[in-house]
C-alpha cells in the first residue's frame, strides 16, 4: 500500500486499494447505517471512522443512512443526535443523507420482481412451524407446502398483505433459495413480514416491513455503495446479501466486508443495555459523562481527535477482542496535553497563612497558559497572604518517600517562590484546620524536592468538581454468565462531587472547554450546568503520574 495513506494498513484498506488499482471501482462509496434507536457509542465511532475515513482517504464518499426498517424503537430524537455526534467526530456526509424508509416503495417492487422470477413466495406457515421446518445446520430443513404455489397467487397475496387484509404474523414473503443449505440464512429466509406498528417516518402507510437481510443489500445497491463495511456478526448473512443483489441483477453489485466489533473494558456497549442504564436512572441520561456514548464523552471533555486517534490505534481486524479503556484515556491525555490550557484549582482545600506576607497585599504571578504551546500566551494569577493548597500535599508525619509539605519543610509554590511550613492549627475536633508558613521569593533559589499548586483565598472562585470513575467494577462484562445482569456490577463510586477553589480565570471558561487543573487532572466545564455562579467541571481524566491525581476521591 502506498505510504501516502495515513495510518497503518489493514485488510479493508488493502481490499479497497486493490479494487481501485484494478479499476474495479471508479469511486469508492461506503455508508454508515445506524439504526435510530439509541445514541451512538464508542463502538459506532470505530465504524464511523472506518466508513467515513476510508472513503475520504480514497477520494470517495460516505453516505449516512438511517437504517430505519424496524418501526418499533426508532425516533427523530435519535436521528438528530446521530447527525450531531458524527459531525462532532469530524465527518460529513455532504448531500448523501438517506432514510431506508424512503426506499420502501422500491423495495416492494424488488420483492414483486423476485416473485415474478419464481424466486420468492408468500408462505402461510406460522412462526413456530417456520422454525420447525427450517431445521438445524447439520440436517436439511423441510420445504414449505407453499413454496411452489403459482407466481400469480403469491403476487396477489403479497398485494393483499400490503393492503392490510391479513393479521400480523399470519403470512410472510420468503425467498426461494435452498432448504438444505448448511447456512440457515439461505433456507428460504423471510423478506417481508406483516407488522401493524406506526413508523416514525411513514406513519401507518405500511403494514408490511422488509427484514434487515432483504433491505440492507437493496439500500446499498440503490445508492451505488461499493464497499459495505459491517461487523462480524453479519458474516453469515453475506451469502444472502450476495444472493439478493445478484438475483436482482445489480451490476456492479455492492460487496460486504466484515470486521471485529470494538469492545471496551469496564463498560457495556449495546444500545439495549445503555437504554436500561438511562431508563433505570443509573445514569443521568444518554450524555452522562460516564456513558460510553459519544455525547457522554463530549460532555466529559474527550476531544474528538482523541477518539479518532484511538480508533486508528485499535485498528481493523477479523478477531474479536477486548480493548483496554486505558488506551482510550491515553489518547485523551495525549491530545489534551497539547491543547488544554493550564489553571490552578484545589479540590480538597487546606488553608495556609503566610506570616511574612502582609494582609491585603496582592502580587500577580505570570504563568503560561500552556507550556506545550507558547502561542496560548500567559495569564496573571493573583497571590496573597492566605492560600488554599491541596490537603494531600501536606503530611504531618511524612514517610520517607513523601517530599511535599511537612512541618519545618520547604517546597516550591508553582510560579510563586517558596513556602516553609512553620505551624499547624487544629480545630476543636483535633483535626488539622490550617497551616502557617513563611514565604520566600523565587530569587532565593532554595533547593527543594517538590512543587505544589495553590490558589489565593482572597481571589478564589468556588468550583464544583464532578469526579467520574468507571461505571462498572468488572473488567470484561461480556464474560458474565447469562443470568448475571451487568447492573449488579455498577461501581457505587463512579461519581463523587467535591467543592473546591480555583484561580479567578476559571470563571471565564467556556462551557464545553477542557482545562488542565495543574497536578490534578483534566476537567471540562459542563456544557449544561456551567454558568456564572455555578462553575461546574467534569473530570475528563486524571493525570497519569500525579501524586494528587486522585484528589477528592477520598471519602
Q: Give catalytic residue positions.
A: 35, 261, 271
Beta bridge partners of 10: none
**Rounded Cα gap, residues 114 and 174, in angstroms:** 10
Strand-pair partners of 524: 514, 538
- What is the widest separation between alpha-carbon atoms in the chain? 102
Per CB under 6 A, the segment of 40-48, 56-64, 123-131, 434-442 that binds ligand ATP is 40-48
Give the residue nearest to Mg ion (CB): 35
Strands (E), 402-503: 410-413, 418-426, 432-440, 451-452, 455-456, 461-468, 495-502
Q: Which is nearer to ligand ATP, 123 or 269 (CB)?
A: 269
Which of 111, 175, 191, 262 touches ligand ATP by CB under 6 A? 262
Residue 466 interacting entry, from Mg ion, ligand ATP, none, C-beta within 5 to 8 Å by type: none
Peptide bond just before 252 cis, omega within 30 deg: yes
Q: Which helix (H) or strand (E) holds 122?
A: strand 120-123
**27 vs 233, which CB is nearer to ligand ATP?**
233
Closest CA to 540 of 307, 277, 261: 307
Q: Is 33 in the site for ligand ATP (CB under 6 A)?
A: yes
Nearest approach, Cβ of 333 to ligand ATP (angstroms)? 23
CB of 266 to ligand ATP, least distance (A): 15
Pick between residue 275 and residue 284 the one whose CB is nearest to ligand ATP: 275
Please, which residue, 239 or 315, has the CB nearer to ligand ATP? 315
Q: How far is the CB of 54 from ligand ATP (least distance, A)?
A: 13
Please give the residues from 61 up to 80 whose contact with ligand ATP meets the rule CB under 6 A: 67
Contacts for 270 with CB less than 8 Å, ≥ 6 apart: none
Using CB under 6 A, pick the residue from 16, 25, 34, 306 that binds ligand ATP: 34
x/- track of binding to ligand ATP for residues 188-227 (CB under 6 A): ----------------------------------------
Helix (H, G, I), strand (E, B) or coil at 530: coil
**Closest separation between CB of residue 209 and ligand ATP, Å?**
16
Which position among 7, 9, 35, 414 is part of the footprint of ligand ATP (CB under 6 A)?
35
Residue from 231, 265, 337, 339 binding ligand ATP (CB under 6 A): 231
Region binding ligand ATP by CB under 6 A among candidate stretches 128-136, 216-224, 265-273, 315-323? 265-273
Residues 307-336 that bind ligand ATP (CB under 6 A): none
Contact at 8 Å (CB) between 441 and 365?
no
- Please state, in angstroms and rounded to a whole number, the distance separating the CA atoms of residues 63 and 498: 44
DSSP state of 463: E
- Interatomic CA distance for residues 282 and 288, integer angstroms: 10
DSSP string, 269-324: --HHHHHHHHHTTSSSSTT-TTSSBHHHHHHHT--HHHHHHHHHHH---SS-EEE-
Size of the site for ligand ATP (CB under 6 A): 15
Nearest approach, Cβ of 230 to ligand ATP (angstroms)? 5
16 near ligand ATP, rule: CB under 6 A: no
Binding range to ligand ATP, per CB under 6 A, among 20-28, 160-168, 264-272, 350-358: 264-272
Of 213, 256, 246, 261, the closest CA to residue 44 belongs to 261
DSSP β-ladder status, 61-66 and 97-99: parallel
Contact of residue 143 among ligand ATP, Mg ion, none (CB under 5-8 Å per partner type): none
# residues contacting Mg ion (CB under 5 A) = 1
Residue 350 C-beta: closest distance to ligand ATP, Å? 45
Close Cβ partners of 133 (under 8 Å, ≥ 6 residues apart)? 125, 141, 142, 143, 144, 179
- From 12-20, 28-36, 122-130, 131-139, give the range in contact with ligand ATP by CB under 6 A: 28-36
DSSP annotation of 494: S
- The enclosing H or E element of 337 equals helix 325-339
Smallest separation (angstroms) from Mg ion to the CB of 70:
9
Tell me the CA distances in angstroms from 77 to 67, 87, 168, 429, one per residue in order.
14, 16, 28, 54
Task: Kindly state the smallest distance separating residue 314's Cβ from ligand ATP, in Å.
Answer: 9
Instruction: Give the interface segment with ligand ATP, choosing from 44-52, 315-323, 381-389, 417-425 (CB under 6 A).
Output: 44-52
270 is an interface residue for ligand ATP by CB under 6 A: yes
Pick one of Mg ion, ligand ATP, none as the site partner of residue 220 (Cβ within 5 to 8 A by kind).
none
426, exposed or middle or buried, with CB in 10 Å at 0-12, 13-18, 19+? exposed
Measured CA distances, 252 to 116, 218, 225, 235, 256 (Å): 22, 13, 10, 20, 13
- Residues between 24 and 83 with contacts to Mg ion, criterion CB under 5 A: 35
CB nearer to Mg ion: pick between 33 and 60? 33
541: left (phi over 0), alpha (psi -120 to 50) or beta: beta
The least distance separating ligand ATP from the CB of residue 248, rounded to whole angstroms, comes to: 22
Phi, psi of 550 (to 5 degrees): -100, 15
List the single partner that 47 binds among ligand ATP, Mg ion, none, CB under 5 to 8 Å by kind. Answer: ligand ATP
Binding footprint of Mg ion on the chain (CB under 5 A): 35
Binding footprint of ligand ATP on the chain (CB under 6 A): 33-35, 43-44, 46-47, 67, 230-231, 261-262, 269-271
Amino acid at each position: 500500500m502506498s505510504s501516502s495513506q495515513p495510518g497503518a494498513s489493514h485488510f479493508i484498506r488493502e481490499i479497497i486499494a486493490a479494487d481501485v488499482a484494478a479499476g474495479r471501482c471508479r469511486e469508492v462509496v461506503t455508508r454508515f447505517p445506524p439504526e435510530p434507536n439509541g445514541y451512538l457509542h464508542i463502538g459506532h465511532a470505530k465504524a464511523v471512522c472506518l466508513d467515513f475515513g476510508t472513503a475520504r482517504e480514497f477520494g470517495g464518499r460516505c453516505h449516512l443512512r438511517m437504517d430505519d426498517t424496524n418501526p418499533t424503537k426508532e425516533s427523530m430524537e435519535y436521528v438528530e443526535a446521530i447527525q450531531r455526534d458524527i459531525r462532532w467526530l469530524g465527518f460529513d456526509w455532504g448531500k448523501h443523507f438517506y432514510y431506508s424508509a424512503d426506499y420502501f416503495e422500491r423495495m416492494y417492487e424488488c420483492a414483486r420482481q423476485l416473485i415474478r422470477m419464481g424466486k420468492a413466495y408468500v408462505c402461510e406457515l406460522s412462526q413456530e412451524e417456520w422454525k420447525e421446518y427450517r431445521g438445524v445446520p447439520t440436517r436439511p430443513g423441510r420445504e414449505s407446502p407453499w413454496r411452489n404455489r403459482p407466481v400469480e397467487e403469491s403476487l396477489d397475496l403479497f398485494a393483499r398483505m400490503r393492503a392490510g387484509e391479513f393479521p400480523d404474523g399470519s403470512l410472510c414473503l420468503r425467498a426461494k433459495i435452498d432448504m438444505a443449505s448448511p447456512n440457515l440464512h439461505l433456507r428460504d429466509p423471510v423478506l417481508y413480514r406483516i407488522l401493524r406498528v406506526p413508523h416514525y417516518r411513514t406513519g401507518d402507510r405500511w403494514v408490511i416491513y422488509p427484514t434487515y437481510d432483504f433491505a440492507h443489500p437493496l439500500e446499498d445497491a440503490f445508492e451505488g455503495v461499493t464497499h459495505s463495511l459491517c461487523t462480524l456478526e453479519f458474516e453469515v448473512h453475506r451469502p444472502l446479501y450476495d444472493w439478493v443483489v445478484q438475483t436482482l441483477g445489480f451490476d456492479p453489485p455492492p460487496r460486504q466486508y466484515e470486521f471485529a466489533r470494538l469492545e471496551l473494558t469496564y463498560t457495556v456497549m449495546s444500545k439495549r443495555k445503555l437504554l436500561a442504564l438511562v431508563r433505570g436512572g443509573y445514569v443521568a441520561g444518554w450524555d452522562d459523562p460516564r456513558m460510553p456514548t459519544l455525547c457522554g464523552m463530549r460532555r466529559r471533555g474527550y476531544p474528538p481527535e482523541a477518539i479518532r486517534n484511538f480508533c486508528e490505534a485499535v485498528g481493523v481486524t477479523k478477531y474479536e477482542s477486548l480493548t483496554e479503556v486505558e488506551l482510550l484515556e491515553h489518547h485523551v491525555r495525549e491530545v489534551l496535553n497539547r491543547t488544554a490550557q493550564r489553571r490552578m484549582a484545589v479540590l480538597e482545600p487546606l488553608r495556609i497563612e503566610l506570616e511574612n506576607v502582609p494582609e491585603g497585599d496582592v502580587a500577580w504571578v505570570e504563568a503560561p497558559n500552556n507550556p506545550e504551546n507558547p502561542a496560548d500566551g500567559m495569564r496573571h494569577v493573583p497571590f496573597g497572604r492566605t492560600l488554599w493548597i491541596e490537603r494531600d500535599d501536606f503530611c504531618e508525619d511524612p514517610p520517607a518517600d513523601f517530599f511535599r509539605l511537612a512541618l519545618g519543610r520547604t517546597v516550591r509554590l508553582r510560579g510563586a517562590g517558596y513556602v516553609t511550613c512553620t505551624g499547624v492549627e487544629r480545630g476543636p475536633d483535633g483535626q488539622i484546620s490550617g497551616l502557617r508558613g513563611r514565604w520566600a521569593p523565587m530569587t532565593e533559589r532554595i533547593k527543594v524536592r517538590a512543587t505544589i499548586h495553590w490558589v489565593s483565598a482572597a481571589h478564589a472562585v468556588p468550583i464544583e468538581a464532578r469526579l467520574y470513575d468507571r461505571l462498572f467494577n468488572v473488567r470484561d462484562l461480556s464474560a458474565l454468565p447469562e443470568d448475571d445482569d451487568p447492573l449488579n456490577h455498577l461501581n457505587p463510586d463512579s461519581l463523587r462531587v467535591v467543592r473546591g477553589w480555583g484561580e479567578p480565570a476559571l470563571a471565564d471558561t467556556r462551557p464545553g472547554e477542557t482545562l488542565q487543573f495543574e497536578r490534578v487532572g483534566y476537567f471540562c466545564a459542563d456544557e449544561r450546568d456551567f454558568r456564572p455562579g455555578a462553575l461546574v467541571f467534569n473530570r475528563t481524566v486524571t493525570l497519569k503520574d500525579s501524586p494528587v491525581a486522585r484528589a477528592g476521591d477520598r471519602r
